[in-house]
Amino acid sequence: GQNIDQPTEMTATEGAIVQINCTYQTSGFNGLFWYQQHAGEAPTFLSYNVLDGLEEKGRFSSFLSRSKGYSYLLLKELQMKDSASYLCAVRDANAGNMLTFGGGTRLMVKP
Q: Which residues bind another protein (CB under 8 A)?
A: 31, 33, 35, 40-45, 48, 50, 87, 89, 91, 95-104
Rounded Cα gap, residues 50 and 27, in angstroms: 14
Running DSSP on this structure, what letter comes out for residue 69? T
Beta bridge pairs of residue 107: 10, 84
The helix or strand, by DSSP H or E, that contains position 61, with its residue range, turns out to be strand 60-65
Minimum gap (Å) between residue 14 Cβ and another protein: 27
Minimum gap (Å) between residue 3 Cβ and another protein: 13
Minimum gap (Å) between residue 87 Cβ and another protein: 6
Would you say 46 or 78 has its CB closer to another protein? 46
